[in-house]
Structure 1
Amino acid sequence: MIEAVIFDWAGTTVDYGCFAPVQAFIETFENEGIEVSFDEVRQPMGALKRDHIRALLEMPRITNLFENVHHRAFTEQDIDAMLAVFTDKLMAEISSHTLLKPDVLETVAYLRDKDIKIGTTTGYTAEMLEPVAQAAKTQGYEPDLLMTPDDVQNIGRPAPDMINKNLERLAIQNRQTVIKVGDTVSDILEGKNANVLSVGVIEGSSVMGLNESEYTQLSGEQRQSEIDRVRQVFETAGADAVILNLSELVHLIEKMNQ
């Protein structure tokens, strides 16, 4: 029987399409005189934000651009400085990216009815998550645990440390009774590394990268193509299951419990 579900935040339960961090990353690199694309920014999505900045700087194209602009290689001090800029930019706009995704409240109500515990992990620091969690609470979503990299010595995904801490605090012994739900490859790998069931959610995910309006305006053929593309990304990463949206999580749990 499923005992706990551990949700990611942006792109999974709030912020359809996971746009708050994307824009902040783009503006942070613009501040350095470097133009990065949406696709580049989304590749490391879900990781600790400092690790995310490093991953972008290590991409060959961006490495070359940085060296052309600064006439030297990037340093740890550059990463620290860019993280400070990113944090300021994210905090300035994050409150406008806290709307719950469809099906969250109905799914949470089901979990509560079945006495299934609700944990969380995130790529946000505690400071970044605070306004998101507060807004979610106002809308009716309040998990049992808020877990950030700050709680595990700043170790981010795909390491399993945040999930491990969730299980410890939720007093869960059997990892095969735990589902991790997320919208990025980092989420899938985090679940796999923690030896829990790892589930990717397609609609509103960072991997899809579309807002709700853009998604609904796709033709049937375009929509199916995007769904298939995102499903392939999650399956390649090793997902145990892939769901279209959170309403399908209920059916997945019912199936697993049978």
Structure 2
Amino acid sequence: MIKAIIFDFDGTLADTLPVCFYAFQAVFKEFDNVEVTSNEIKAMFGPSETGIIRENLLHPHHDKAIELYYEKYTEKHKELVLDNEEINHLLHSLKREGYKLGIVTGKANRSLLISLECLNMNDLFDVIITGDDVTIPKPHPEGIVKALAHFNIKNTEAVFLGDSDADILAGKQANIHTIGVQWLPNYQTLEFKVQPDQMFKNINEFTDAIKDIRNK
């Protein structure tokens, strides 16, 4: 029986990729004087935002660059990331039905908290594992394993939803039921290289399906 539903965040619960791209582009332009494309930024994904900057920025002032990232991320969040009524309804419905809700994301804790605050999602999740909380980022399953341990449940009692190959690989390695999603305007993976156990492009379809999944 499914007791917990664990989500990735960027591209899964919130259409935050545009504001991530905006902030990274500002940083690389300001410090390295280079224009980076959205696809080039996607290729850097894995570590948290601070990790991406430390690993990819040539300029030595990483701490200043990280501060600029958060400044730009906050500055444009409400303009570039819109509330999604379907996502909000989904989360509140799952909560009412008694599911434990979790987030396992590569995002840094600081940027996730900015997004949760802007989107009024602060009080919805029972566990949050960010890129700051793990030694090895997705596709390593460490974050999912930590979430399961927090809930004190078996891997057969949870599902993990994500929009990237790294999400699905992490879920597979944690032996958890994986769900690929492409239901927001922007998501990371156009075609999954590793097939998730289920795939949804529509939130309502997932809402219907979870009733069947719950009793498996």
SS of residue matched to 1:237: coil
The residue number in structure 1 matching 2:13 is: 13
**Alpha-carbon distance change, 102 to 188 in structure 1, aligned in 2, over 3 angstroms:** farther
Q: Does residue 119 of the first structure (1) align with residue 118 of the second (2)?
A: no
Map residues 13-32 of structure 1 onto 2, 5 A cutoff. Answer: 13-14=13-14, 16=15, 18-31=17-30, 32=32
- Return the match for 1:196 from 176, 179, 195: 176
For residues 91 and 126 of structure 1, what CA distance do their matches in structure 2 show? 14
SS of residue matched to 2:206: helix
Answer whether contact 1:44 1:186 (CA < 8 A) is retained: no
Larger Rg: 1
- Return the match for 1:178 from 138, 148, 158: 158
Code of the aligned partner of 2:48: L
**Alpha-carbon distance change, 181 to 47 in structure 1, aligned in 2, over 3 angstroms:** farther
SS of residue matched to 2:128: coil
Q: Number of paired residues?
A: 213
- Return the match for 1:238 from 190, 195, 198: 195
The residue number in structure 2 matching 1:157 is: 138
The residue number in structure 2 matching 1:248 is: 205
- Return the match for 1:145 from 127, 133, 141: 127
For residues 202 and 178 of structure 2, what CA distance do their matches in structure 1 show? 15
1:108-163 CA-to-partner distances (Å, cap 9, x unmatched) read: 2332243211000222212111121223336x86112222122335x432222222
SS of residue matched to 2:161: strand
For residues 52 and 187 of structure 2, what CA distance do their matches in structure 1 show? 14
Answer whether contact 2:102 2:128 (CA < 8 A) is retained: yes
Q: Does residue 133 of the first structure (1) align with residue 116 of the second (2)?
A: yes
Answer whether contact 2:5 2:159 (CA < 8 A) is retained: yes
**Alpha-carbon distance change, 163 to 111 in structure 1, aligned in 2, over 3 angstroms:** same
Aligned-pair CA distance for 1:202 = 0.7
Q: Does residue 42 of the first structure (1) align with residue 80 of the second (2)?
A: no
5+ residue gaps, structure 1, are 58-65, 67-73, 209-229
**Alpha-carbon distance change, 47 to 180 in structure 1, aligned in 2, over 3 angstroms:** farther
For residues 137 and 114 of structure 1, what CA distance do their matches in structure 2 show? 20
Map residues 55-66 of structure 1 onto 2, 5 A cutoff. Answer: 57=56
Answer whether contact 2:77 2:118 (CA < 8 A) is retained: no
SS of residue matched to 2:159: strand
**Alpha-carbon distance change, 84 to 238 in structure 1, aligned in 2, over 3 angstroms:** farther
**Alpha-carbon distance change, 84 to 186 in structure 1, aligned in 2, over 3 angstroms:** farther
Structure 2 length-normalised TM:
0.82
Code of the aligned partner of 2:11: G
Question: Of Structure 1 and Structure 2, which has the larger fraction of its residues in helix?
Answer: 1
Aligned-pair CA distance for 1:81 = 5.8
5+ residue gaps, structure 2, are none
Deviating runs (4+, > 6 A) in structure 1?
none
For residues 183 and 99 of structure 1, what CA distance do their matches in structure 2 show? 18
For residues 116 and 17 of structure 2, what CA distance do their matches in structure 1 show? 15
